[in-house]
């Protein structure tokens, strides 16, 4: 059985694992919404006047560079990419490393950051396309670039995952990673990074994307196709090497002794401390949060954008952080949910603790990304802009947590969130969550962006209050479900056993 | 007042009726074993008693408190070891005990009892490790500790011996004896008949969600008892008529 066939079988199995018609319809609807969003962005971008052409032309190479970097970093954060079916469930089957690698490539579009970037890039390419009628060809070249970058990024990430299979490798790669981040920030501050991004190759690619009828564009099609085949070969080998190289005994991280902390003064504080530990001790969550906290900020910082263009960012980062764990936050308790439910703890305390920890972690992530941008751009000078950004942050965090909490109670599932490749839900569910959260994150983001340039300042406060009111409604509905013993029992049983 | 009083308990999951009108009572200082095949309704009954699954019909009273009417108060009187894990994966053993002490507002000094229990169940060295790294047996032992930690009036142990080594089994049996001496009512759900006989003085046999027999565990001891048990389970493997 070839690797491609194995991937097909695994995808079919994953589809069959969606037992209810409702779940299958939700997947199809989710994919439809994602496609609709891209089409909508393309349509709007195609109808806009060209007054921002110069700025967009400068921005495009930076966004392409960011995509390449995130393809590697995203793959690394996920320990080699998303799994079609968790490795633990396939342990008795001869799934080839090539199939594992190709599966990661196939599922890459389900990644929130990947999808968000594609939406933005499609909009940019369509907006800048000359002639506009050739935009579909430009988008096709963009998707070829995205596929090649993803295949290449995952190949590099599998190689690094392989190096990290022993203590020395981990030490070396972590040191190099920190050094790279430090150098990148320094380069961004001194303008060297901008010069690196604006290199002839990336500018040439950007020009080909916007002038897809040119001979250069044809050359890029051929080069990217060749590169993707090479990346697929290298990636399969890197994955194979990495999986064979596992000389670290399984569970080394889990057998570490943790410092004993003093008892907290109340059940609430103790519960919050345990929930907080469950988040920060999880490798996939920790890596994802670092990525979400730094990457959008670094990307924005090195791009030719100002604070005015970044009002939409906090809700998007908040949604990205919530996707890492908060959309299935009750699964943090795992099998312990059954024991906890038998203790004399009020249901309100249990849910409130999860909401609190989700809120603080999401806020921390958004604050980190804003801090990185502040270092690069300096603090926003106008009071109105500062107010808008603060409101965008607050509303973005509350929205993301309220929506995620609702999903946690409505569609819970067992999630280990222990190994680097674990996600809080199966791939199809993650797609649905990603589409839903992105769509809802765009509402406050765009709303605040529009109100920043038009309307009185107090309208910002009214809009924020309205959005917070809607979030409160979500929380109220969530509580209504959670307070029903029969529903709570269903949730607890699902997160405890699957 | 009986510590555990169950009347006409019914638990349904959608179209599936897992428990059909179970009546059960456990007196103070006694231990009752719930035995039966897989899917007999043992764990569902235990979960309903622990307040983690709401009953569809009937009533459950723990220490005189109606579980459906006042679940939080009822849970103050019980300790529960669930059948699956029952542990928070990324919390340490000590943090579990700390959380339990905090939720139950245990007086200061609980640390000494926690340490003693961990030592007795050979988990002293693992106290500060997260439970995701525990073996199945270690997890079972910690679950039993968590159930008994606060000296509850009602001790509910669901498959406490499953995958536990002989020393762990001895520690669990000892803990059950101590709880009974203290006046606690103990309910043990297990598929291991020999250990049910050893730890309890009465056995309730469940089949298809119904109680098919309730008798002293001595009646299920030895070869004759095992044969009788097989007849009660309706396996068809036992040859000849059911022993009296």
The residues near B225 (Cβ < 8 Å, ≥ 6 apart) are B193, B197, B218, B219
Half-sphere exposure of A201 (CA within 13 A, CB side): 6
* pLDDT for B244 beyond 70: no
A-B CB pairs within 8 A amount to 133
Distance from CA of B128 to the nearest CA of A (A): 5
Look-up of token digits 């797609």: A431
CB-CB contact of B83 with B189 (8 Å)? yes
Distance from CA of A138 to the nearest CA of B (A): 47
* pLDDT for B238 beyond 60: no
Measure the CA angle with vertex B48, ends B44 and B49; round to 5°: 115
pLDDT at B239: 45
The DSSP result for A103-161, as a single string, is: HHHHHGGGSHHHHHHHHHHHHHHHHH-SSGGGHHHHHHHHHHHHHHHHHHHHHHHHHHH
CB-CB contact of A335 with B85 (8 Å)? yes
Distance of CA B123 to the CA centre of its chain: 21
> Cβ atoms within 10 A of the Cβ of B164, count?
22
Which of A339, A344, A416 lies at the smallest CB-CB distance from B86? A339
* pLDDT for A237 beyond 70: yes
Helix (H) / strand (E) element for A406: namely helix A383-410
pLDDT at B10: 95
- Put simply, whether A264 touches B (Cβ < 8 Å) is yes
Look-up of token digits 């439809």: A32
Helix (H) / strand (E) element for B36: namely strand B31-36
- Indicate the average pLDDT of chain B: 91
* pLDDT for B110 beyond 60: yes
Nearest to B94 by CA among B160, B154, B145, B150: B145
- Put simply, whether B102 touches A (Cβ < 8 Å) is yes
pLDDT band at B138 (very low <50, low <70, confident <90, very high): very high
Whole-angstrom Cα distance, residue A426 to residue A494?
A: 14
Helix residue spans in A164-266 (DSSP H): 167-190, 192-197, 200-210, 215-244
Give the 3-state secondary structure percentages of chain A, helix then strand then coil, rounded to 5: 80, 0, 20
* pLDDT for A359 beyond 70: yes
* Test the A interface: residue of B89, B96, B152 with most A CBs within 10 Å: B89
CB-CB contact of A65 with A470 (8 Å)? no
CB-CB contact of B168 with B76 (8 Å)? no
Longest CA pairwise span in chain B (Å): 59
- Put simply, whether A497 touches B (Cβ < 8 Å) is yes
Q: Tens digit of pLDDT for each residue in A364-417? A: 999 999 998 888 788 888 899 999 999 999 999 999 999 999 999 999 988 888
pLDDT at B221: 85
CB-CB contact of A335 with A415 (8 Å)? no
**3-class DSSP state of A447:** helix
pLDDT band at A236 (very low <50, low <70, confident <90, very high): very high
- Indicate the average pLDDT of chain A: 87
B92–A339 C-beta distance less than 8 A: no
Nearest to B47 by CA among B30, B22, B15: B22
Residue A307 has phi, psi (to 5 degrees) of: -60, -35
- pTM here is 0.83
* pLDDT for A221 beyond 80: yes
**3-class DSSP state of B83:** coil
Q: Checking DSSP bridges between strand B154-158 and strand B78-81, what pairing results, if any? A: parallel
What are the structure tokens assigned to A337, written together?
């949910």
What are the structure tokens assigned to A396, written together?
């973005």
Nearest to B113 by CA among B204, B58, B162, B178: B178
Which of B53, B132, B143 lies at the smallest CB-CB distance from A418? B132
- Put simply, whether A16 touches B (Cβ < 8 Å) is no
Calculate the alpha carbon distances from B46 to A477, B84, B174, B191, B235 in Å: 30, 12, 21, 14, 23
Q: What is the mean pLDDT of residues A42-71?
A: 85
Whole-angstrom Cα distance, residue A446 to residue A472?
A: 20
Radius of gyration, CA atoms only, chain A: 23
The residues near A57 (Cβ < 8 Å, ≥ 6 apart) are A128, A206, A210
pLDDT band at A229 (very low <50, low <70, confident <90, very high): very high
* pLDDT for A307 beyond 60: yes
Whole-angstrom Cα distance, residue B174 to residue A255?
A: 28
Distance from CA of A455 to the nearest CA of B (A): 49
**3-class DSSP state of A195:** helix
Which of A257, A263, A339 lies at the smallest CB-CB distance from B146? A339
Could you give all domains of chain B from N- to C-terminal order, each with its CATH number?
4-233 (3.40.50.300)
What is the percentage of chain A residues whose pLDDT exceeds 90? 45
Residue B204 has phi, psi (to 5 degrees) of: -110, 120
pLDDT at A55: 80
What are the structure tokens assigned to A256, written together?
């570490």
CB-CB contact of A107 with A427 (8 Å)? yes
* pLDDT for B178 beyond 90: yes
Which of A251, A271, A332 lies at the smallest CB-CB distance from B133? A251
pLDDT at A226: 95
A338–B52 C-beta distance less than 8 A: yes
Does ipTM exceed 0.95?
A: no
B132–A255 C-beta distance less than 8 A: no
CB-CB contact of B6 with B52 (8 Å)? no
């Amino acid at each position: 059985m070839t690797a491609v066939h194995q991937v097909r079988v695994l995808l079919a199995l994953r589809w069959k694992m969606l037992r209810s018609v409702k779940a299958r319809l939700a997947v199809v609807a989710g994919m439809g919404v994602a496609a609709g969003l891209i089409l909508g962005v393309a349509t709007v971008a195609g109808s806009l006047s060209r007054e921002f052409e110069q700025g967009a032309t400068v921005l495009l190479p930076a966004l392409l560079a960011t995509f390449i970097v995130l393809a590697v970093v995203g793959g690394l954060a996920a320990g080699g990419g998303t799994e079609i079916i968790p490795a633990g469930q396939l342990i008795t089957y001869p799934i080839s490393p090539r199939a594992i690698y190709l599966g990661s490539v196939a599922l890459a579009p389900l990644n929130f950051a990947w999808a968000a970037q594609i939406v933005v890039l499609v909009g940019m390419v369509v907006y800048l396309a000359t002639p506009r009628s050739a935009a579909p060809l430009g988008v096709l070249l963009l998707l070829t670039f995205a596929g090649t970058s993803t295949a290449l990024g995952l190949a590099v990430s599998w190689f690094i995952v392989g190096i990290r299979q022993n203590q020395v490798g981990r030490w070396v790669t972590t040191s190099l990673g920190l050094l790279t981040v430090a150098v990148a920030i320094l380069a961004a501050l001194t303008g060297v990074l901008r010069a690196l991004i604006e290199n002839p190759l990336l500018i040439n690619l950007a020009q080909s994307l916007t002038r897809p009828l040119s001979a250069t564009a044809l050359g890029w099609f051929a080069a990217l196709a060749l590169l993707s085949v090479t990346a697929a070969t290298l990636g399969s080998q890197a994955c194979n090497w990495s999986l064979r190289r596992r000389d670290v005994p399984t569970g080394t991280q889990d057998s570490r002794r943790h410092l004993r902390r003093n008892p907290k003064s109340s059940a609430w504080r103790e519960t919050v401390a345990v929930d907080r530990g469950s988040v920060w001790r999880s490798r996939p969550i920790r890596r994802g949060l670092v990525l979400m906290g730094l990457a959008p900020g670094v990307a924005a910082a090195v791009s030719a954008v100002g604070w005015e263009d970044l009002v939409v960012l906090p809700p998007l980062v908040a949604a990205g952080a919530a996707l890492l764990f908060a959309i299935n936050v009750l699964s943090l308790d795992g099998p312990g949910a059954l024991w906890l439910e038998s203790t004399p703890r009020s249901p309100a305390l249990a849910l409130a603790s999860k909401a609190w920890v989700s809120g603080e972690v999401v806020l921390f992530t958004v604050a980190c990304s804003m801090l990185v941008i502040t270092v690069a751009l300096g603090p926003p000078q106008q009071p109105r802009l500062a107010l808008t950004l603060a409101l965008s942050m607050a509303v973005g965090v509350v929205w993301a947590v309220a929506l995620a909490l609702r999903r946690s109670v409505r569609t819970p599932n067992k999630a280990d969130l222990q190994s680097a490749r674990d996600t809080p839900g199966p791939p199809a569910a993650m797609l649905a969550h990603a589409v839903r959260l992105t769509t809802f994150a765009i509402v406050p983001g765009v709303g605040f962006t529009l109100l920043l340039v038009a309307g009185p300042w107090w309208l910002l406060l009214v809009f924020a209050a309205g959005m917070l009111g809607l979030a409160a409604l979500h929380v109220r509905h969530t509580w209504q479900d959670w307070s029903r013993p029969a529903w709570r029992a269903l949730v607890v049983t699902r997160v405890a056993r699957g | 007042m009986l510590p555990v009083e169950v009347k006409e308990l019914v638990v349904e999951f959608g179209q599936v009726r897992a428990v059909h009108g179970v009546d059960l009572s456990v007196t103070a200082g006694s231990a009752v074993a719930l035995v039966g095949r897989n899917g007999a309704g043992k764990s569902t009954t235990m979960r309903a008693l622990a307040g983690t699954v709401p009953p569809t019909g009937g009533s459950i009273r723990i220490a005189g408190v109606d579980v459906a009417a006042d679940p939080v108060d009822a849970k103050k009187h019980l300790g529960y070891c669930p059948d699956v894990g029952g542990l928070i994966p990324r919390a340490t053993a000590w943090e579990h005990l700390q959380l339990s002490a905090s939720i139950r507002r245990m007086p200061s000094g609980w640390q000494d009892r926690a340490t003693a229990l961990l030592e007795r169940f050979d988990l002293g060295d693992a106290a500060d490790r997260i439970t995701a790294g525990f073996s199945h047996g270690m997890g079972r032992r910690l679950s039993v500790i968590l159930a008994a930690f606060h000296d509850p009036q009602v001790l509910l142990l669901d498959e406490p011996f499953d995958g536990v080594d002989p020393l762990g089994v001895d520690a669990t049996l000892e803990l059950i004896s101590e709880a009974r001496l203290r006046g606690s009512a103990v309910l043990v759900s297990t598929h291991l008949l020999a250990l049910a006989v050893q730890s309890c003085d009465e056995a309730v046999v469940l089949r298809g969600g119904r109680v098919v027999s309730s008798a002293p565990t001595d009646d299920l001891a030895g070869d004759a008892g095992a044969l009788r048990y097989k007849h009660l389970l309706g396996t068809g493997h036992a040859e000849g008529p059911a022993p009296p």
